[in-house]
Amino acid sequence: MQERFEIGKIVNTHGIKGEVKVAMYTDNINNFKKNNIIYVDNNEYVIETSRLQKNMIILKLKNVDNMNDAENLRNCIITIERSKKKLPEGTYYIADLVGLEVYTDEGKLLGKVADIYNTGANDIYTVKTIEGKEILLPAIKDVIKNIDLENKKIIVHLLKGLI
């Protein structure tokens, strides 16, 4: 399992006091709250202030106090530790699901999760079969019956017409 997750990328400086402009990779704005610890190229930083500006977030990091300091961080990826990011019951990190084997509730191996994307209504799991075909499964309770991270497998119920 990944120990850190990417939550954004520093795309530019902002002003002359060391602020940076961040493209967010997450919709959870709480990852960028004051006093949160983040990692920029594996160096630990504490967020002093944060504010939204259009579709970006402006961060002021402790010990980044001028434009030159901020410029050194341009194009760097921001990560956060897994332990700092709690998920609600029944939700999973995409990084943990990709690669899991997918079995029907009858025990037949369908393949492995290759990707997950969101349609707005629900996530769609893309399962790559042994033959190289793709099966699209909606992440709804009627289809996804069990996710077992420990044993690296997902049990699904195939509704009529899914494949």
Listed residue (13, 2, 50, 1) closest to 29, CA to CA: 50
Which pLDDT tens digit goes with each residue over 80-106?
987 766 677 778 888 889 999 999 999
pLDDT value, residue 28: 78
Count: domains in the chain:
2
Number of other residues whose CB lies within 10 A of the CB of residue 101:
16
Do residue 99 and residue 125 come from a single domain? yes
Q: How far is CA 94 from the centre of its chain?
A: 6
pLDDT tens profile 103-144: 999 999 999 999 998 887 889 999 999 899 999 999 999 999
Other Cβ atoms closer than 10 A to 71: 14
State which residues form the domain around 148.
94-156
Q: Is the pLDDT of residue 57 over 80?
A: yes
CB 84 within 8 A of CB 5: no
Q: Specify the amino acid at residue 119.
A: T
106 with 138, same domain: the answer is yes
Is 0.75 topped by the overall pTM? no
- Per-residue pLDDT band at 162 (split at 50, 70, 90): confident
**Which CATH number covers residue 142?**
2.30.30.240
Please check the confidence at residue 75 and state whether its pLDDT lies above 80. Answer: yes
